[in-house]
Amino acid sequence: MHTRQLGPFSVSAIGLGCMNLSHAYGVPPSAEQGERLLLAALDAGVTLFDTAALYGFGANEQLVGRVLKPHRSAFTLASKGGMAGVRGDDGTLRRVIDGRLATLRRNCEDSLRNLQTEVIDLYYLHRWDKSVPIEDSVGEMSRLVEEGKVRALGLSEVSAATLRRAHAVHPIAAVQNEYSLWSRNTEIGVLDACRELGTALVAFSPLARGFLCDVLHDVSTLDAKDIRRAMPRFSPENYARNLALLPAYKALAKEAGCTPAQLALAWLLSRGEHVIPIPGTTSLAHLNEDLQAEQVRLSPELVARVDAVINQRTVSGARYGAQSSTEVDTEVFED
């Protein structure tokens, strides 16, 4: 697999987002299935594995740490703090965004233990806690670098302005924002800011949370705990309109000689050498399909036609609901 630069690291052009193995899309696969998928990705040449304290409230980090510890020198390990599970008085875990300095340090220590490693290669601020200046949060994270607990820093779901403020405190190796054909907010400012600053743009949900795989045709089949149920684009009304975009899109994939999922990933790779998609999956077949996208080559003319079919003007529904929208710092398109 070809490589791309992520801060001081040379990583596979397509990484693996590990969240699906423990979190977010209904009942996760068994630990044995997760282990097989992680090892298959490593064997296939993936050298960027992405997890977070939030995913499964530590379970995803524990899985990644246990399975990949024997191969620790063979890949770049990324995790995230500043958004994790906190147990309430009733014993239930709830998601909390907390960028206070002591919390970030505690999150990092917890992640090091869960991941069974002495150092995290790339440590992200999972969400900017807007009650804490970004300079303060990044300043504390930079001390983790000085102490040898972290090698490089990243930010997730931030705007170009916030990236520049953070970068002035400590170099930011990567910004991880949602980026796909149907989520173009990154193109407002962050994509160019990352190129200018030498920062990688790590694209999460590059397959539009399954939409661009052409496998989800009925949103009523989603698990009751699937996070997509709360996303406006997956409401029955909006999703029906979005499905109407797929025939033209699939025709373009056929013309390119690839699957719809591969076209989505190849399109992202064409956006710049600093763009690194991290699709996630629980399926070995889908993993192999995703990784083969790196071999797809698209002409500028075909890229333009793909752009015209699925973009922020043709997609129905907002990316997040009202609450989640307040938790991110990314730019938004004007209506």
pLDDT tens-digit readout, 40-69:
999 999 999 999 999 999 999 999 999 999
141-166: average pLDDT: 98
Q: What are phi and psi of 91, to 5 degrees?
A: 90, -5
**Residues with Cβ within 8 Å of residue 301, at least 6 apart in sequence:** none
pTM for the model: 0.97
Place of tokens 């009925």: 218
In the chain, what percentage of residues exceed pLDDT 90?
95
Catalytic residue among 55, 123, 124, 179: 55
* pLDDT tier, 334 (very low <50, low <70, confident <90, very high otherwise): confident
What domains can you pick out in the chain, each with its CATH number? 3-208+272-296 (3.20.20.100)
Place of tokens 């699957």: 259
Kindly tell me if the per-residue pLDDT of 335 is higher than 80: no
Can you give the pLDDT at residue 221? 95
What is the C-alpha separation between 69 and 40, in angstroms, rounded?
Answer: 15
281-305: average pLDDT: 97
291-311: average pLDDT: 97
Residue type, 82: G
Q: Is 55 a catalytic residue?
A: yes
**Residues with Cβ within 8 Å of residue 150, at least 6 apart in sequence:** 108, 119, 120, 121, 122, 123, 141, 144
- What are the pLDDT digits (tens) for 183-208? 999 999 999 999 999 999 999 999 99
- What are the pLDDT digits (tens) for 236-278? 999 999 999 999 999 999 999 999 999 999 999 999 999 999 9
